[in-house]
Amino acid sequence: MSDDQELGITESKQYNTGEWYAEVVQKAGLANYAPDGMSGFIITRPRGYALWEGIQNYLDSEFKATDVQNAYFPMFIPESYLEREKDIVEGFDPEVAWVTHGGNQELEERLAVRPTSESIIAPYMAQWVRSHRDLPLRVNQWCSVVRWEATDTKPFFRTKEFLWQEGHTAHRTRDDAFEETMTRLGQYRSLYEDVLAMPVMRGKKPEHDKFPGADTTTTVEALMPDGKSVQAGTSHYLGTSFAAAFDITFSDEDEEEQPAHTTSWGLSWRSLGALIMTHSDDQGLVVPPTIAPEQVVIVPIYQEDTEEKVLDYAEELRDDLAEAGVRVELDDRDERNPGFKFNEWELKGVPVRFEIGPYEVDDDEVTVVHRPDGEESVEARDEVVDSIEDHFDEVYAKLYAKAEENLAENVRDAEDRAGILGTIGQHGGYVRTPWCGKEECEEEIKETISAEIVMVPFEDDEERHHPDVAEGCECAICDDEATETAFFAKSY
Ligand SMILES: [Zn+2]
């Protein structure tokens, strides 16, 4: 327990987002920074890990319900394996950490610490796939990967080692593989929209920003309250390029040898960073009840002469809630006063608080307070266990509505270079604009205000397209014909 005066958040979310975020992460007990000499790494504390487990449990059950099996591959990859797919090496080389010694012995071949696992998984998929009857093949692994980026540490958003899942599948046809790609993207979207109370936009990455070796990279993007976009999960249709590099082939019905179409898809604990950033406030962490390690905290309020009856009442209520499957904590610490407890549980992000004093006991009632906005109501004791799900739904709806409003208000159109620069400079958020598809046009914007094209909407997602593109117009940056809609934003 830290000192009382250290407990509260001192930075402002609105004016000092970066410092505020770091403070919430540490004071809500989610993570610590690693020791000197290990900058870029973090220690994930139990409360932080519990949130990650909530994300993990949801996705894992969705994956398993759709025929994915978990497996585990070594964290080291021989250099020669990485080199088999040249595009990957070019994509990741500067960020790869290498093992050169085992004990005192120099290795004959150095080993990469996995920046992603395609090049160690694909050779085994090649062994496992023989005939069309072996397809589709779907494996997923939960693991950490290392990318040695020289940037400032931002817990969960940017760390040299991060936790994620990576799914890898092989299919007979392009259509099957593409459908798989979209299925996984859809599961990422439902994680955000149904569990984390965060609306996201689905789309594709521009050609020049695809995953190395991929045919199509799809993404879900989430808008943060500071106007920056987070790439919140990606799903890649890899075509037959990995099959060609690693001999993932199968014999079809006519005994002809065919290359498999493969996919890979990953979601990291950046999702956790985005969750914290989206909902939390100047009092501390805010998370929806769907994922909160404790959904309800009961704070008893008593004097010496009422202690026994208040605590008895509170304990019985705790037991009833726990029996109904609610994650509930009774804070009966004698050495802390109720005000201190309120602040501490607000800091830790418990979505619903029950207050029980002598009046509640006498009237057979419970005072219920919602974390996000402090809304207070009084419920009858014999109804509160049944109505708790309604409170959870209300809290969830409040959080979702606020995030949805932020997204809706921050997609703006621009039809020329000055419009893009001015709009992002003034408001942040997304600028939707007609685009010719050339990387140079993005470069020009990137160099001026470090905003990039985070997403291009899918062809059939007409609502997301800039209205002028369908009618025929020029690229907002050059004079060529616009062929698609680009979403520019600054990003994490
Ligand atoms: Zn252009």
- Predicted pLDDT at 406: 96
152 residue type, one letter: D
How much distance in Å is there from the Cα of 240 to the middle of ligand 1? 30
The one-character DSSP state at 281 is: B
How much distance in Å is there from the Cα of 26 to the middle of ligand 1? 44
How much distance in Å is there from the Cα of 440 to the middle of ligand 1? 7
Tens digits of residue pLDDT in 298-307 = 999 999 999 9
CA distance 390 to 65: 27
pLDDT at 363 over 60: yes
pLDDT at 459 over 80: yes
Tens digits of residue pLDDT in 165-195 = 999 999 999 999 999 999 999 999 999 999 9
How much distance in Å is there from the Cα of 15 to the middle of ligand 1? 35
User: Where is 211: in which H helix or E strand?
Assistant: none
Count CA within 13 A, CB hemisphere, residue 21. Answer: 21
How much distance in Å is there from the Cα of 196 to the middle of ligand 1? 36
Residue with the bigger pLDDT between 88 and 50: it is 50
In the chain the domains, ranked by start, together with CATH numbers, are 17-73+129-279 (3.30.930.10), 296-395 (3.40.50.800), 411-489 (3.30.110.30)
How much distance in Å is there from the Cα of 438 to the middle of ligand 1? 6
Closest by CA to 446, choosing from 484, 490, 492, is 490
- Residue pointed to by tokens 């007990």: 29
Tens digits of residue pLDDT in 246-272 = 999 999 999 999 999 999 999 999 999
Dihedrals φ, ψ of 372, to 5°? -65, -35
- 169-183, 201-215, 264-278, 279-293: segment of lowest average pLDDT: 201-215
How much distance in Å is there from the Cα of 473 to the middle of ligand 1? 11
- Predicted pLDDT at 88: 53
How much distance in Å is there from the Cα of 436 to the middle of ligand 1? 4
Is residue 4 very low, low, confident or very high in pLDDT (cuts 50, 70, 90)?
very low
How much distance in Å is there from the Cα of 194 to the middle of ligand 1? 37
How much distance in Å is there from the Cα of 285 to the middle of ligand 1? 42
- Predicted pLDDT at 84: 81
How much distance in Å is there from the Cα of 472 to the middle of ligand 1? 14
β-pairing, 296-300 with 352-356? parallel
How much distance in Å is there from the Cα of 435 to the middle of ligand 1? 5
CA distance 272 to 128: 34
How much distance in Å is there from the Cα of 478 to the middle of ligand 1? 4
Measure the CA dihedral 194/198/204/209, to 10°: -130
- Predicted pLDDT at 464: 93
How much distance in Å is there from the Cα of 217 to the middle of ligand 1? 21
Is residue 396 very low, low, confident or very high in pLDDT (cuts 50, 70, 90)?
very high
Is residue 211 very low, low, confident or very high in pLDDT (cuts 50, 70, 90)?
confident
- Predicted pLDDT at 150: 79
For the entire predicted model, the pTM comes to 0.95
Query: Which region, left, alpha or beta, applies to residue 112 given φ > 0 means left and ψ of -120 to 50 means alpha?
Result: beta
Average pLDDT, the chain: 94
Residues of the chain with pLDDT > 90, as a percent, come to 89
How much distance in Å is there from the Cα of 182 to the middle of ligand 1? 28
- Predicted pLDDT at 82: 85
Burial class (CB in 10 A: 0-12, 13-18, 19+), 433: buried
How much distance in Å is there from the Cα of 89 to the middle of ligand 1? 29
How much distance in Å is there from the Cα of 445 to the middle of ligand 1? 11
Residue with the bigger pLDDT between 61 and 242: it is 61
How much distance in Å is there from the Cα of 434 to the middle of ligand 1? 8
Closest by CA to 176, choosing from 98, 87, 108, 240, is 240
- Predicted pLDDT at 5: 46
How much distance in Å is there from the Cα of 41 to the middle of ligand 1? 39
Is residue 2 very low, low, confident or very high in pLDDT (cuts 50, 70, 90)?
very low
How much distance in Å is there from the Cα of 431 to the middle of ligand 1? 15
Tens digits of residue pLDDT in 417-457 = 999 999 999 999 999 999 999 999 999 999 999 999 999 99
How much distance in Å is there from the Cα of 419 to the middle of ligand 1? 14
How much distance in Å is there from the Cα of 443 to the middle of ligand 1? 10
Is residue 156 very low, low, confident or very high in pLDDT (cuts 50, 70, 90)?
very high
Tens digits of residue pLDDT in 368-392 = 999 999 999 999 999 999 999 999 9
How much distance in Å is there from the Cα of 384 to the middle of ligand 1? 59
Closest by CA to 130, choosing from 262, 250, 244, is 250
Is residue 3 very low, low, confident or very high in pLDDT (cuts 50, 70, 90)?
very low
CA distance 230 to 238: 23
How much distance in Å is there from the Cα of 206 to the middle of ligand 1? 13
How much distance in Å is there from the Cα of 477 to the middle of ligand 1? 5
How much distance in Å is there from the Cα of 211 to the middle of ligand 1? 22
Q: Is the peptide bond before 136 cis (omega within 30 degrees of 0)?
A: yes
How much distance in Å is there from the Cα of 410 to the middle of ligand 1? 23
How much distance in Å is there from the Cα of 413 to the middle of ligand 1? 16
Residues within 5 A (CB) of ion ligand 1: 436, 438, 441, 475, 477-478
How much distance in Å is there from the Cα of 121 to the middle of ligand 1? 38
- Predicted pLDDT at 90: 62
